[in-house]
Amino acid sequence: MEKNEVAAKLRDIIAGRIDGIDPAGMNDDTELAALGADSLALSWIMADVEDTFDFVMRGGELMKLKTFAAFVDYVVQRVGK
How far apart are the two ends of the chain, measured CA to CA in Å? 11
Would you say 16 and 26 are in contact if contact means Cβ atoms under 8 Å apart?
A: no
- Give the pLDDT of the chain (81 residues) as one tens digit per residue: 899 999 999 999 999 999 999 999 999 999 999 999 888 999 999 999 999 999 999 878 888 999 999 999 999 999 986
List of residues 6+ apart from 51 with CB closer than 8 A: none
- The rounded distance, in Å, linking the Cα atoms of 2 and 64 is 23
- The rounded distance, in Å, linking the Cα atoms of 68 and 4 is 12
Q: What domains, with CATH codes, occur in the chain?
A: 3-79 (1.10.1200.10)
